[in-house]
Amino acid sequence: MISLAAKYSGCGNDFLVVDGRNHPFPYGDKASIVYLCHRLQSDGILVLEDSEKADYRMRLFNADGSEADMCGNGLRCLAAFANICGTIETNHYIHQTNIDGNFVTTTMAPAHSIHWNQTLEGHTFHQLNTGVPHIVLFVDDIDTFPLDNIGPHLRHHDHFSPEGTNVNIVHIQ
């Protein structure tokens, strides 16, 4: 039984946020996670837990049922859900969160594994890890860039195996 849940959105990411402190979340039931995310059109499920290292702990399950280390937008949604001005533990870092009205901020782990000007299948990108791996592609026009096709292809490309990577596009004006 889930004690409290709500849907939150942060910078285009949609999450089902669950309070798992009093009732354990069914972590091993990937089929249920996939079903809930599909049914609620959610990018993932955030679970609020107690922590021995911080005020709270966040667990994140992607829409495919896999567990992710963290998500900055998810962290902000969890902080808003629980009204946390304090610390939240993720798999590799303890983040400080703050709420000022409707504005939620969080610290991020220092970026690492930074590789500039990488090329793969004709796409030049910069690669870094901010708690989860990301690539950043600079594009001429965000509105016409075929992200729906290229994004999933790069995200799951063997080059980024086994965990994949988040694909971000940027246009400088």
- Any idea which residue has 């994140």 for tokens? 60
pLDDT digits (tens, 9 = 90+) for 37-80: 898 899 999 999 999 999 999 999 999 898 888 999 999 999 99
Residue 155, Cβ density class (10 Å: 0-12 exposed, 13-18 middle, ≥19 buried): middle
Report helix, strand or coil for 136. strand
Domains, the chain, in order of start with CATH, read 4-106 (3.10.310.10), 112-170 (no CATH)
Convert the pLDDT of each residue in 82-130 to its tens digit. 888 899 999 989 999 999 998 999 999 999 999 999 999 999 999 999 8
CA dist 69 and 71 (Å) reads 7
At position 77, the amino acid (one-letter code) is C
Q: Report the relative pairing of strands 103-106 and 94-100 from DSSP bridges.
A: antiparallel
Nearest to 108 by CA among 122, 123, 136, 129: 129
